Structure 1
Amino acid sequence: MLSFSFYLFQPFEQIEEAFRKAASFGARELFTSLHLLNGKELGEQEKLKWIGRLARRYGVGVVADATPAVLSHLPAGVGVTKALNEWGIIGLRLDDGFSWDETVQLSKQMKVVLNASTITEREIQELASRQIDWAGVDAWHNFYPRPETGLSGDTLMKQNRMLRQCGIASIGTFVAGNAQKRGPLNKGLPTLEDHREADPVSAYIELRETYKVGKVFVGDLSVSDDVLERMAWVRQGIIPIRYRPIVSARWLSLVETVHTNRRDAARDVIRSTESRRSIIWPKEALHPTEPAPRPTGSVTIDNERYGRYAGELQIALTDLPTDDNVNVIGKVVEEDIPLLRYIHGGRPFCLVRG
């Protein structure tokens, strides 16, 4: 699941856009923080009530970062659950300061999200001994605004393994946006330091495929339209690969469609099943061109000299030599080359101009 974040300092239209995007991607949760201003956000009663109406309209609840100090700003005489539900807040991501008993009590009232980056196995056992209601418990990692402070991949993998062994399967992480960053540093809000400058789609796929994370949130204020378009492919189970063509032809529309890597995946190349089975190439597409080397990420078509292989579209997974039987028609953008390793046998992918 991909979802987004909003913050109460944003204009109304930007907050509603976050709800709209989350709903369009099938997400049921948005992230926000209630302690950027030490809980003073809870003074914006009209805005919070409006957010509650958005949550009901779009069918998307809000999970809010909070501390005990923040909750002390709730209106007097109103229960935590009642007040937060009115504002569309269906869960709390508990920051430092909550006692064991407070955490357990909250779990019996609403969704509770533990800090996946810092919690230990002993602490989970302590919560279990106090009968926490695990049915509504997630664990989400932190995001890290300051450069050089994000988690390593090894740390993320280790923490996730421990959480699953303890029975917590619903794990969340954050990726940085590539459009409007959140201040005050404006350096991205990723969980992994490696993802601070990464393309959000690549970061999302890595978190899902390598780290087996179920929920990924964009921590920053927005992503580009291009990211949203490619994420729509990902939601369908298709890996979008950006490439730059080196030929100019109308038949490139046949290249820029959905392909499936052969189930008997090759070592050196991704082989499009459809390219010889169902795509009808025009004759000019199969005419031999000037032979060229095939570095990793080269997009190629076997030309008419290859006999029955003519028309096979491939993407090179390693540096390959020049072959008179193969036309090089494009190159995967450098940023998307790491995604090629996720196109296993039988996995659909599409080539999009980048």
Structure 2
Amino acid sequence: MLSFSFYLFQPLEQIEETFQLAARLGAKQLFTSLHVSKGQELEEQRKLDRIGQFASCYGIGVVADVTPTVLSRLSADADIAAVLRRWGIVGLRLDDGFSMKEAASLSKQVKVVLNASTMTEWECKELASYQADKSNVEAWHNFYPRPETGLGGETVLAQNQRLRRYGIEEIGAFIPGDAKKRGPLYEGLPTLEAHREADPVYAYIELVETYGIKKVFIGDLAVSDGVLRRMDWVRSGVIPIRYRPIVRVEWLSVVETVHTNRRDAARDVIRSAESRRSLVWPKEALQSIPAAPRRTGSITIDNERYGRYAGELQITLVDLPADDRVNVIGQVIEEDMPLLRYIHGGRRFCLIRC
């Protein structure tokens, strides 16, 4: 699941737009922070009432990062669950200051989200000893605004394995946006440091496929329309690959469709199962052109000299030599090269011209 974040410093109009976007993409939760300045409680309560109306209108709940101090200042009501429901808050991501005993108690009233980045073995055991409602417990990793402070992949994998040993399966994490960064540093809000400058679509796929993350949130304020369009492909089970044409021909649009890597996946290339079976190639597409080296990420079509293989579309996974039976027609852009390793046997992908 991909979703988004909003923050109380944003105008209500922008916050509602985030709810609308989440609803369009089928997201069920948004992330926010309740780090409210002292003296602003009444104003923020009024804003939260409006946010609760958005949540009800669009059918989307809010998970809020909160400290014990802020929670007590915002509501002295004994029935905290009722107050949170009024604000559209379906879960609390517990920041520093909550004990595992308090977390277990809260889990019996509302969804509790623990800090996946810092949970220790002892804390996992302690939470279990207090008989937390496991159906109401999740864990999300931090995001890291300052460059060079994000997590390494080994840390995320180790923490996830620990949490799952104790029955916590719903694990979330953050990726940066590419359109409007959140201040004060404006350096992205990733969980993994390697994602700080990464394309959000790649960051999302890596978290889901390599790290088993169930919920991925854009920590920043916005992503571009291009990212949203490519995420539509991802949601339909297709990996979008952007490429730049090398040849200028009218028939190039034929390749810009959904392909499936053959189930018997090759070592050196991705082979489109549809390219020889169902794509209708114009005669000129299969005529040979001057051979060129096939560097990694080359998009190629076997020409008429390859006999029964003529018309097979491939993407190279390694550098390969020139072959006069193979026409090089395009090149995957650098930002999308890491996505190629996720196009395993039987996986669908599409080519998008840049």
Range into which the TM-score falls when normalised by the shorter chain: over 0.9
For these two proteins, the number of residue pairs brought into alignment is 354
* Aligned position for 1:258: 258
Partner of 1:187, secondary structure, is coil
Q: Does the CA contact (< 8 Å) of 1:302 and 1:311 recur in 2?
A: yes
Q: How far does residue 45 in structure 1 lie from its aligned partner after superposition? A: 2.8
Partner of 1:274, secondary structure, is coil
C-alpha distance 269-191 of structure 1, shift in aligned 2 (>3 A): same
CA distance in 2, matches of 1:17, 1:195: 25
Structure 2 residue ranges without an equivalent (≥5): none
Q: Deviations over 1:110-156 (max 9, x none)?
A: 00000000011210110111111111110000000000000001101
Q: How far does residue 42 in structure 1 lie from its aligned partner after superposition? A: 6.0
* Aligned position for 1:329: 329
CA distance in 2, matches of 1:120, 1:12: 38
CA distance in 2, matches of 1:78, 1:71: 12
2:345 is equivalent to residue 345 of structure 1: yes
CA distance in 2, matches of 1:234, 1:269: 21
* Aligned position for 1:218: 218
- Give the alignment's TM-score, normalised by structure 1: 0.97
Partner of 2:74, secondary structure, is coil
Overall identity of the aligned pairs, in %: 70
CA distance in 2, matches of 1:80, 1:39: 20
4+ long deviations beyond 4 Å = none
CA distance in 2, matches of 1:340, 1:60: 33
Matches within 5 A, 1:199-348: 199-348=199-348
- Give the alignment's TM-score, normalised by structure 2: 0.97
Structure 1 residue ranges without an equivalent (≥5): none
C-alpha distance 97-250 of structure 1, shift in aligned 2 (>3 A): same
Q: Does the CA contact (< 8 Å) of 2:288 and 2:325 recur in 1?
A: yes
Partner of 1:276, secondary structure, is coil
Q: Cα RMSD (Å) of the superposition?
A: 1.3
Q: Deviations over 1:48-73 (max 9, x none)?
A: 11111111111110000000011122
2:20 is equivalent to residue 17 of structure 1: no
Q: How far does residue 36 in structure 1 lie from its aligned partner after superposition? A: 5.8
Matches within 5 A, 1:173-184: 173-184=173-184
C-alpha distance 283-276 of structure 1, shift in aligned 2 (>3 A): same
* Aligned position for 2:116: 116
Q: Does the CA contact (< 8 Å) of 1:268 and 1:317 recur in 2?
A: yes
CA distance in 2, matches of 1:39, 1:336: 47
C-alpha distance 261-35 of structure 1, shift in aligned 2 (>3 A): same
CA distance in 2, matches of 1:39, 1:251: 65
Partner of 2:275, secondary structure, is helix
Partner of 1:241, secondary structure, is strand
CA distance in 2, matches of 1:79, 1:123: 26
CA distance in 1, matches of 2:220, 2:28: 18
Partner of 1:251, secondary structure, is helix
